[in-house]
Amino acid sequence: MSAPGTGASGPAPRRRGRPARTEATVGPGARERILAAARTEFAERGYDKASIRGIARAAGVDPALVHHYFGTKEQVFGAAIEVSFEPALNLPDLLTHGADGIGERFARYFLGIWENPATRAPLIAVIRSAMTHDTAAKVLRGFVLRRMLERVAAELAVPEPRLRAELAASQLVGIAMLRYVVQVEPLSSADPEDIVRMVAPTLQRYLAEV
Amino acid sequence: MSAPGTGASGPAPRRRGRPARTEATVGPGARERILAAARTEFAERGYDKASIRGIARAAGVDPALVHHYFGTKEQVFGAAIEVSFEPALNLPDLLTHGADGIGERFARYFLGIWENPATRAPLIAVIRSAMTHDTAAKVLRGFVLRRMLERVAAELAVPEPRLRAELAASQLVGIAMLRYVVQVEPLSSADPEDIVRMVAPTLQRYLAEV
């Protein structure tokens, strides 16, 4: 991956102040590798202890390339959040089927995301960081407001749609915290479908009932 | 706790392995001072970084006295949680008035605790610690299970009372997280009574409707 003609055979020198490798030389996968490394770094070390250098090392790139693609640590965190929330942002067919049964569709969809360890881990990491670090909270808040809640709220035919979307989110976040993080019983080992059955009317009322 | 006749008049030497001052010399308020210091220490530094020595220093006692009263760091944390949750444990008249309006009484009571900065701060600190540290989660889980949820569940005349009590708790915890920690708008600045109005039917259904 060294640039032609440099004659360098070892790793590129670090801290050069700008990307040591171009898109052409690092390959088109560098951005994705950095994002994946960022998710892991933030998940494992938390916002405070995560570093651009650690992310770069894990991705096998120069730290300057991380800055080049994503900017500051805060912006890298924002990008990592965006990737983590991707499943939650697709919201497939949740809104296009109208108000009928929207509570059950929301409950089942989000429980599905939480039940899958691959999608659960980064989400929990993001929420943990936001709980304990103001910058992370600010990034999550900006992101959640801008993308997910606004999108849901825009399609609701109820008064105060944004407040209602947030109350629905608070129910789902609270379940995630108690079921997967604090792990209270019997909630922690309850059948997901039992939870859907109990929670669907709550979400239905927030999202669709005046 | 110095034995009679030691003649010690200055500060007791530290790390003596057992309490340097007796109940009589440190005064009956020592236990309360330690608890207050523990709450502050855990709130400000988190479970990981909090230390028995730091708590002892803030309380003006020997670290051995902290061990003497409360045992391990985990047990000090448990005692601090207990104090922090005291308002939530009183549950005055919430259960004695029967199922009618129980959702609204719960919602208003817990919002009141969260709205008061003096009772909010230690609760948020406990939840933050539990989100990020397994030992803290274990202590919160043991405590919440043993005291609050079991007590509420025991008085509910519905199937699966414990699961329902936990779902009600998850709604309240989720609101606390999004309103006071992540601070999403408009939830963060909504009138508490508006939140009570929206959330009461949710709690009513979990706690009282089959």
How far is residue B168's CA from residue A171's CA, in Å, rounded to a whole number?
9
pLDDT of residue A104: 93
State the CATH class of domain B23-71: mainly alpha
State the CATH class of domain B86-208: mainly alpha
CB contact under 8 Å between A174 and B179, yes or no, is: no
CB contact under 8 Å between A166 and B187, yes or no, is: yes
HSE-CB for A53 with a 13 A CA cutoff: 6
How far out from the chain centre does Cα A30 lie? 20
Q: How confident is the model at residue B113 (pLDDT cuts 50, 70, 90)?
A: confident
CB contact under 8 Å between A173 and B172, yes or no, is: no
User: What is the average pLDDT across A21-38?
Assistant: 75
Min Cα distance A64 → chain B (Å) is 30
Spell out the domain ranges in chain A. Answer: 23-73, 86-208
Comparing CB atoms, the residue among B162, B170, B181 nearest residue A137 is: B181
User: Would the pLDDT of B1 be above 60?
Assistant: no
pLDDT of residue A57: 95
Chain A residues with CB-CB distance to B185 below 8 A: 145, 162
End-to-end CA distance of chain B: give it in Å, rounded: 56
User: What is the average pLDDT across A171-184?
Assistant: 90
Q: Which of B131, B148, B149, B189 to mutate to test the interface with A (most CBs of A within 10 A)?
A: B131
- Report the CATH superfamily, name and number, of domain A23-73: Homeodomain-like (1.10.10.60)
| More confident call, B11 vs A135 | A135
pLDDT of residue A88: 66
- In whole numbers, what is the pLDDT of chain B averaged over residues? 81
pLDDT of residue A10: 43
ipTM reported for the complex, 2 dp: 0.76
Closest residue of B to A140, CA-based? B182
Chain A residues with CB-CB distance to B170 below 8 A: 171, 174-175, 177-179, 187
How far is residue B65's CA from residue B78's CA, in Å, rounded to a whole number?
17
User: What is the average pLDDT across B163-174?
Assistant: 94
B36–A contact, CB cutoff 8 A: no
A170–B contact, CB cutoff 8 A: yes
| More confident call, A204 vs A7 | A204
For chain B, percent helix, then strand, then coil, each to nearest 5?
70, 0, 30
pLDDT of residue A136: 80
User: What is the average pLDDT across B13-24?
Assistant: 48
> Residue A22 burial by CB count (10 A; 0-12/13-18/19+): exposed, middle or buried?
exposed
How far is residue B148's CA from residue B120's CA, in Å, rounded to a whole number?
17
* C-alpha triplet A131, A136, A137: angle, nearest 5°: 55
- In whole numbers, what is the pLDDT of chain A averaged over residues? 81
* C-alpha triplet B5, B6, B12: angle, nearest 5°: 145
pLDDT of residue B202: 97
User: Would the pLDDT of B38 be above 70?
Assistant: yes
User: Would the pLDDT of B88 be above 80?
Assistant: no
| Best CA proximity match to B124, nearest among B190, B210, B183, B54 | B183
Q: How confident is the model at residue A120 (pLDDT cuts 50, 70, 90)?
A: confident
